[in-house]
Chains A and B, each alone.
Chain A
């Protein structure tokens, strides 16, 4: 993974010093709250319902075991002993004390971590595929480009006060696992037959109050042109994005108002002025970035023999075989596998991890995966480089630590925002809804039979739980002070990105498990042998689902 050099460290140290000064001025009353607000947000610090919330960047999801141990230490010493993995692959602390935040950031800087631009109207953490570098379907490893973007976007002087927040995602695989079409900028890496690498550029996607699927504004952007082109997009947005209404300030509104074609023309015109300037990437810089993401010291392994041994272990243990089936996936290197540690056991808020569990993850990473782990946008943790011969031992150890729930990709692997239990923006709770649905679907064989289903829950229309792109999406709404839940069907964040359709009137919390059960029953009754939930929904439409859920009892 990328290792900070003296430049990165010096910039980060100066940032911590700057924020310490700002915090002290705020506490002393010389920095007014309205001025401190965007400054603290740009260091990851929110003021939430019960306490501040500190969001720490995990660039493109990569963590080493030293960093994970530091997160555990901070959770234990400055917080209440747990953290939350967010859908932007970030780590959130829920109970820090404002006066201690500069110390926390200083401790994080010791291990090359920070909360820089994890909130606020600026360029946020760049996200990517949690299987980057190991996926069998990968065309080009996206991480070097993510790191180049991280550096370019960090402390960018021109774009620290944008009309609204700004999110970039990069994918380099056939299957998009980074949801690039629902980002302000989505970059899909293209490898031409000639060997030339570049990007298909999506712009103006996003969820929230006005969900939009991004538009392609450039089919192929050569890799050297990445930064000047991004800068052109951001400049057009900074100068022309709406600032009169925060709900109309995202780039998606500008792109729609202008049309994607006109927006693209403006970007191209802006880029024309800068494309051959100093920000154009050099071959040396691209190679330097790539040099940090080279292969770890893989052993040469006879894959057939390793797989045969795993198969034999699986034949002995139904539980192990279930875990293999759902939580383990292929790896481009023979004899290796990528393992997802589930943070979704029933009864735990999706994405929450305790301090001691973090330390166990660090130990597992050291023992089984070259000391690295990744956060995922589905709020799980990945150990990407596990020898197949270690899988059984890893399974036993992760089971003991509570990470082996074999539910990855299933209806109980729910993406869920913190909701009304923690978030001051939320209209409704989301964690208890997730738990009630997990309890409804407690028969694993039945859950497996249902196949892959993305079920996403947001506690408000800001859509942190990505409900618009869930095959089943649930949105908490407030009606006259009471919490209700609206159901959407047919969303997808993958290559076939789509936004869910609202099924109809919302439901009370108590009936939600039953509602989801009925939707699933309609799927089971109508599916063909090969169809996933989303396929059946797309084929038969919403009507059969509506009829079942809203049928009058007779």
Chain B
């Protein structure tokens, strides 16, 4: 089973990520068990899926936190996708899920982000990292979470900016 980084540890990935459908989102077969479905599938099949507690949702980089909004906390996991690592929209999306919509579950980075972004992603509220690249070395990636130990700005994991903490 593939692994991922969650809460600073390497663990088994028990969630299956369902790809975006090319056709009608209503027609996508959502299997039983832990699944993370695309937003379009969630919207199209909400009537059936909302009775399950093992369904998460993922947002592509052109989909917004407000598309889930107050509903966020119904999900155990929300994925934020990186089509490419230079697409930085998910940083804002993660932050908004945490800070604006009070999401307390797992925010999972999925797709083509890179190890060197882990520290910033964590500060934006991402607590799980599932690299699309199967060759990503999770042991070394873990180290990048500790690239910085002190920050100037407010962030999800340190809501007080440095200027409110400086002695």
Measured CA separation A7–B166 after assembly (Å): 8
Q: Say whether B86 contacts A157, CB under 8 Å.
A: no
Measured CA separation A265–B107 after assembly (Å): 29
How many residues belonging to B are interface residues under a CB distance threshold of 8 Å? 35
Task: For A14, give the chain B residue with the smallest CB separation.
Answer: B148
Task: For A234, give the chain B residue with the smallest CB separation.
Answer: B92
Q: Say whether A14 contacts B120, CB under 8 Å.
A: no
For residues 135 through 167 of chain B, which have their beta carbon under 8 Å from a beta carbon of chain A? 147-155, 159-164, 166
Q: Does B7 contact A (CB under 8 A)?
A: no
Q: Say whether B86 contacts A38, CB under 8 Å.
A: yes
Q: Does A154 contact B (CB under 8 A)?
A: yes
Q: Does B33 contact A (CB under 8 A)?
A: no
By a CB distance below 8 angstroms, the chain A residues around B116 are 18, 22, 31, 35, 39
B contacts with A: majority SS: loop
Measured CA separation A154–B162 after assembly (Å): 12
Q: In the complex where A14-B148, A238-B92 touch, is A279 in contact with B153 (Cβ < 8 A)?
A: yes
Interface residues on A, range: 35 or more
Q: Does B70 contact A (CB under 8 A)?
A: no
Q: Say whether B151 contacts A159, CB under 8 Å.
A: no
Q: Does B108 contact A (CB under 8 A)?
A: no
Q: In the complex where A10-B150, A35-B114, A243-B87 touch, is A235 in contact with B124 (Cβ < 8 A)?
A: no
Measured CA separation A155–B166 after assembly (Å): 18
By a CB distance below 8 angstroms, the chain B residues around A277 are 154, 159
By a CB distance below 8 angstroms, the chain A residues around B120 are 155, 157-158, 160
Q: Say whether B153 contacts A11, CB under 8 Å.
A: no
Q: Does B69 contact A (CB under 8 A)?
A: no
For residues 68 through 126 of chain B, which have their beta carbon under 8 Å from a beta carbon of chain A? 85-89, 91-93, 95, 100, 114, 116-117, 119-121, 123-124
Measured CA separation A7–B120 after assembly (Å): 18
By a CB distance below 8 angstroms, the chain A residues around B85 are 35, 161
Q: Say whether A7 contacts B149, CB under 8 Å.
A: no
By a CB distance below 8 angstroms, the chain B residues around A278 are 154, 159-161, 164
By a CB distance below 8 angstroms, the chain A residues around B154 are 277-279
Measured CA separation A288–B153 after assembly (Å): 16
Q: In the complex where A157-B123, A160-B91, A238-B88 touch, is A152 in contact with B100 (Cβ < 8 A)?
A: no
Q: Say whether A155 contacts B148, CB under 8 Å.
A: yes
Measured CA separation A118–B87 after assembly (Å): 19
Q: In the complex where A14-B148, A155-B151, A157-B155 touch, is A162 in contact with B161 (Cβ < 8 A)?
A: no
Closest CB of chain B to A541's CB: distance in Å? 45
Task: For B160, give the chain A residue with the smallest CB separation.
Answer: A278
Closest CB of chain A to B148's CB: distance in Å? 5
Q: Does A239 contact B (CB under 8 A)?
A: yes
Q: Does A281 contact B (CB under 8 A)?
A: yes
By a CB distance below 8 angstroms, the chain B residues around A281 are 163
Q: Does A175 contact B (CB under 8 A)?
A: no
For residues 132 through 169 of chain A, which have their beta carbon under 8 Å from a beta carbon of chain B? 148, 151-152, 154-163
Closest CB of chain A to B124's CB: distance in Å? 5
Task: For B95, give the chain A residue with the smallest CB separation.
Answer: A158
Measured CA separation A279–B156 after assembly (Å): 12
Binary per-residue interface labels of chain A (1-22) against chain B in the complex, 1 for a CB within 8 Å, 0 otherwise = 0000101001100110010001
Q: A157-B155, A161-B86, A238-B89 are in contact. List 9 more A-B contacts (CB 8 A).
A: A7-B150, A11-B150, A11-B151, A38-B86, A157-B120, A160-B88, A243-B87, A277-B154, A279-B153
Q: List 19 A-B contacts (CB under 8 A).
A: A10-B149, A14-B148, A18-B148, A121-B86, A148-B163, A154-B152, A155-B152, A157-B91, A157-B153, A158-B88, A158-B91, A158-B124, A160-B88, A162-B88, A238-B88, A238-B92, A239-B93, A277-B154, A279-B153
